[in-house]
Amino acid sequence: MATVWALEILLLKGHAMPLVMIDTVRGSYDETQLRTLLDAVQDAVVEAFDVPSTDRYQILTQHERFELVALDTGLGIDRSEKLVMVRVASKARAEEAKVALYRSLARTLHERVGVEGADLVVSITENGDADWSFGHGEAQFLTGAL
């Protein structure tokens, strides 16, 4: 029973790198800023989810302005062309870790790339062990390889 409990704590704390998808408006950031943005997102995920810094799965997609829409949801949030949407596909995380990620992303992206808080939207989608294959057509979390 202690082994199951320890495994549950590891999964809730982290140790499984999520897939991070980042969407921006084309032309809002230059190549250097985009590379810095990717690094900043990685550092925020590592900090908040306590995952190895050497695990990194990111997809950056740039859209035309009309292809990326984020209204204020009635909160009075005015967004600019600098909008950054971060989507995270991840194994289950503790609520505290998710909130820590939101704060870390906001702080890190503002400090390194100048992204204002109003221009950051984050969404986390949880999945399980059977929802991942890291290559070779295998489910490494199910086989015990990870």
Tens place of pLDDT for every residue, the chain, 146 residues?
A: 443 333 343 444 446 789 999 999 999 999 999 999 999 999 999 999 999 998 899 999 999 999 999 987 889 999 999 999 999 999 999 999 999 999 999 999 999 999 999 999 999 999 999 999 989 999 988 999 88
Domains and CATH numbers, the chain: 2-143 (3.30.429.10)
> Is residue 56 helix, strand or coil?
coil
DSSP state of 44: H
Beta-carbon count within 10 A of 143 CB: 9
- The model's pTM: 0.87
For the annotated catalytic residues, the residue numbers are: 18
Give the distance between the most distant pair of CA atoms in the chain.
53
